[in-house]
Amino acid sequence: AYSGASGIFVIAAGAVIFRELRRAGARPSLAMAATAMSGSTGVVLSPCLLVLIIAYLDRRVGSDELFAWGYWVYLLSSTLFVAAVVLTRRARLTIAPAREAAPATLRALRPLVPYALLFAVVPLTTWLAFDDGLNTISAPVLLPVILLAVIVFEGRRQKRPARVAVEAATAETSVHIGALLLLMALSACLGGVIERAEVMTALPAEFGSTWLTMAALVVVLVVVGMVMDPYGAVILVAATVAEVAYRNGIDPVHFWMVVLVAFELGYLTPPVALNHLLARQVVGVAALAEARAAEAKEHGFWARHERLLLPLAVMAAALLLVAFGPLVWQAL
């Protein structure tokens, strides 16, 4: 939600997620699958920049409406992922008693307390000084301040000068920012080429059925998500596909929820599978080789391709429920 796109979150936190899952005993393919789709559930939550851009481009929807329904989509996709992990487990499901788990959990949470305090103090100070806390407008300004405070704290804890810590973080971040800006620019250019070539005009203006319209839009949106960055893609969709949806009786908020979930499915779908590429980049060659070696020893099709199939199954199920669930409810 705060990084603005799932790929950015994979770059930022993917290595930590993979390492912690492996430390907890997850098989390599499951850890890779979870890393690739780790950012896919949060793009519908406040204060995600992508949702704010949608609200700016399409006056038929407001950010509050999108965020309100986004929480339900988040719960749906998260629940589906947990269910998929439980159903595909290799060992018996065991849960430690609370008297054993609670003390260990509290001990593990203790090192995180300073970071939680830093995250709370900066918005609280802003609220007391300017009567404006952390929201969709102030988040782009406050988050860099929070991150700088975390970097300075980390530097002091490791007995490094604050200047050295900030310079190291800035140098590492600049590489990712440059790559992302180039990707966003090229994606916007591709969207402009598609729009000027009038490729989207191949879609019929009237389908005669809301169900048929939704089915066609789901396919188109997943394909767009497979080849374009989200920020360039929403510009293209708002200018072309959205009107087709509205003319065929699809609610604007429903349509944009489908767009967001379809894009996330596209980012996990071969042959491009952008989030898988980013996950492989951040976990490293050794971890990827370990996952492939483990997959080569498996016998079933699902087990050999779990790191690709698990995210696809979860997001495809979420997309079908988000796209057709409201239509089924209206038909009852």
Reported as a pLDDT band with limits 50, 70 and 90, residue 143 is: confident
d(CA 232, CA 225): 10
Closest CA to 316 of 78, 72, 77, 82: 77
CB neighbours (10 Å) of residue 270?
9
Lowest mean pLDDT segment, chosen from 68-77, 80-89, 166-175, 249-258: 166-175
Q: According to the model, what pLDDT value does residue 184 have?
A: 76
Mean pLDDT, the chain, as a whole number? 85
**Looking at residues 33-55, what average pLDDT do you find?**
87
**Looking at residues 20-25, what average pLDDT do you find?**
87
Reported as a pLDDT band with limits 50, 70 and 90, residue 323 is: very high
Torsions phi, psi for 208 (to 5 deg): 80, -5
d(CA 274, CA 264): 10
DSSP helix/strand/coil, 22: helix
pLDDT at 322 over 90: yes
**Looking at residues 60-79, what average pLDDT do you find?**
92
d(CA 11, CA 91): 30
